[in-house]
Amino acid sequence: MATNENPKGGGDPGPLLELRGITKRFPGVVALDDVSLSIHRGEIHMLLGENGAGKSSLIKVLYGAYRADAGEFRHQGKVIRIDSPADAKALGIAVIFQEFSLVPFLNIAQNIYLGREPRGRLPGLIDHARMHADARAVLQSLGLSYDTHALAGDLGVAQQQMVEIAKALSQNARILVMDEPTAAISDRESEALFTVIRQLREKGVAIVYISHRMKEVFELGDRITVLRDGRCVTSMEAAQATPEQMIRSMIGRQVNALFQRKGRFTPGDVALEVSGLHTSTGVSGVDLHVRAGEIVGLSGLVGAGRTEVARAVFGADPIASGKVTIFGHEVKGEPDSVVALGVGLIPENRKAEGLALGRSVQDNLLISSLWKLFPKGWYNAREAMRRVGALVEKLRISPPDPLRPARVLSGGNQQKIVIGKWLNAGCRLFIFDEPTRGIDVGAKMEVFSLIEGLAEQGAGILLISSELQEIVHACDRAYVMRGGRISGELAHDELSEQNILRLAI
């Protein structure tokens, strides 16, 4: 275990909080695998890792939102338990979450002091005056002069983030955990935040800081720990680390079986063309195209705007300006007209957006192509069974029982159903949004074989994935997004995890 050589620790060399061998499993996934971490007073500890490396799970375990399956916590050398957020609070742990934990119809002061409202003179009543004064003081320390009476729901994203930060600061935390606090705020606000963070370090607060931005990792960090696939792969003094080294640790050598393309297919006509796309959901000026028979990657970090591009192309979100052309037809309208052009969207959140979980495999497979089953105005059960049977066989859906509810199938088989419903509808352009999220390695291979098979038959594929190796191995070329824009395009011979990360961060 690393020892603290930071002189600011003030005569106490031992870690304030130590995590030893923390393991957290979910069905089919090991989110955290034997992770150990020491958190020291007066030290800014940077936590790095790709999407899905386990950073968020680690925070949730630290805050008692998840309970670890194995491992122990030591606070100042003593073994302790963190089973609930209340336990974490008692230890002086405060967390700034990425998903905002603000209540929209409470004002700024009420949000900052939620659960810690100052009591007034009369029993049971809240001292509003003191609460607002305290809130103003906390905001002032961040260089902000917000009206503490403003409702949280009326604030912009950046302001909400600053209120979140103020909320954590107001707890006088001894361990402050921040999950990408600068993701949504401006450079000026970030600078104010960094100043506060440094002041807190001087006061001896231990800070755990998650970031994707190399610049701030090295600007702020005293120690850097890299997580990969739920494991802690590197932990070193920031002064001895280089950005190149950190990127390499984040990627690492993958032991998983890799998907290998059978071949490359000659691209045909342009299937999808997006030019100058802007949306109210944050896409600003995206140009890209996909040809028939081509698998084109769309990479970037979570929140870079990839899903938003997909939704706009599919007609699910309105297009503010720019043009989306599919097979030569300009898209203006709702998903049904886009589907009629032969586009299938395999959404990121398949349980909520891709499947009717309670309905049978058969119903799900047929839902996008019902018109084919009503040739004479009534349901053609024989035709339905024929189609479903063919699909179940082709996709190797298991168990091969079309009458089971979709809910009981594994993630991989559910994904096959979502793909199958578009196959049935005769689509020629497919947009896959994180098609392998939460499914096991074997099923991933099958999903990729299916995708490749579609391309081989002349379909255009836009593949959105946070897993860099998927993009590198499955795609013919790729676009990388950052902050709602395309930050670069990589031709096939330029496709590498390093290149993607460089463009994404």
Partner 1 sequence: MNTTTLTVYRRSRPLPSVVAICVAMIVGAALLVKGFLSGGNLVNIGLQASILMMLAMPMTLVIMSEGLDLSAGALLSLCSVILAQALLSGLSIPLALCLSLLTGLIFGLANGVLVANLGLPPFVVTLGTFGVAQGAALVLTDGNAVAGFGPELARLYGASLLGIPVPVVLALLVWLATHVLLYHTRFGTYVFAIGGNRDALTLAGIRSRFYHVGIYVFAGLVVGFAALLLTGRMNSAHPTGAIGMEFDAIAAVVLGGTSFEKGDGWLLGTVMGVLTISILRNALNLLGVESSLQMVSIGLLVLAVILIDSWNKARKESST
Binding to partner 1 by residue 86, rule CB under 8 A? yes
In the region spanning residues 113 to 132, those forming contacts with partner 1, defined by CB under 8 A, are: 114-117, 120, 124-126, 128
Helix (H) or strand (E) holding 478: strand 477-482
Binding to partner 1 by residue 275, rule CB under 8 A? no
| Helix 411-424 / helix 441-456 crossing angle, nearest 10 deg | 20
Q: Which residues pair with 344 in a beta bridge?
A: 430
Distance between CA 272 and CA 461 in Å, rounded? 9
Binding to partner 1 by residue 66, rule CB under 8 A? no
Binding to partner 1 by residue 110, rule CB under 8 A? yes
Binding to partner 1 by residue 358, rule CB under 8 A? no
Burial class (CB in 10 A: 0-12, 13-18, 19+), 355: buried
CB 105 to partner 1: min, Å: 5
Binding to partner 1 by residue 302, rule CB under 8 A? no
Closest CA to 366 of 425, 431, 416: 425
CB 126 to partner 1: min, Å: 6
Q: Are 270 and 290 in contact (CB under 8 A)?
A: yes
Question: Based on CB atoms, which residue is closest to partner 1, 59 or 504?
Answer: 59
Binding to partner 1 by residue 154, rule CB under 8 A? yes
Binding to partner 1 by residue 136, rule CB under 8 A? no
Binding to partner 1 by residue 133, rule CB under 8 A? no
The end-to-end CA distance of the chain, in Å, is 30
Closest CA to 220 of 184, 178, 267, 252: 178
SS3 category, 388 = helix
CB 122 to partner 1: min, Å: 9
Q: What angle do CA 326, 327, 328 make, to 5 degrees?
A: 90
Binding to partner 1 by residue 265, rule CB under 8 A? no
* Residue 95 φ/ψ, nearest 5 degrees: -125, 135
Binding to partner 1 by residue 174, rule CB under 8 A? no
Binding to partner 1 by residue 151, rule CB under 8 A? yes
Question: Based on CB atoms, which residue is closest to partner 1, 103 or 258?
Answer: 103
* Residue 497 φ/ψ, nearest 5 degrees: -65, -40
For the chain, state the CA radius of gyration: 25
Question: Based on CB atoms, which residue is closest to partner 1, 162 or 486?
Answer: 162
Return the range that interacts with partner 1 (CB under 8 A); candidates 151-159, 308-316, 442-450, 473-481: 151-159
CB 162 to partner 1: min, Å: 16
Question: Based on CB atoms, which residue is closest to partner 1, 56 or 369?
Answer: 56
SS3 category, 212 = coil
Binding to partner 1 by residue 160, rule CB under 8 A? no
Enumerate binding residues for partner 1 (CB under 8 A). 63, 65, 84-86, 89, 95, 97, 101-107, 110-111, 114-117, 120, 124-126, 128, 147, 149-151, 153-154
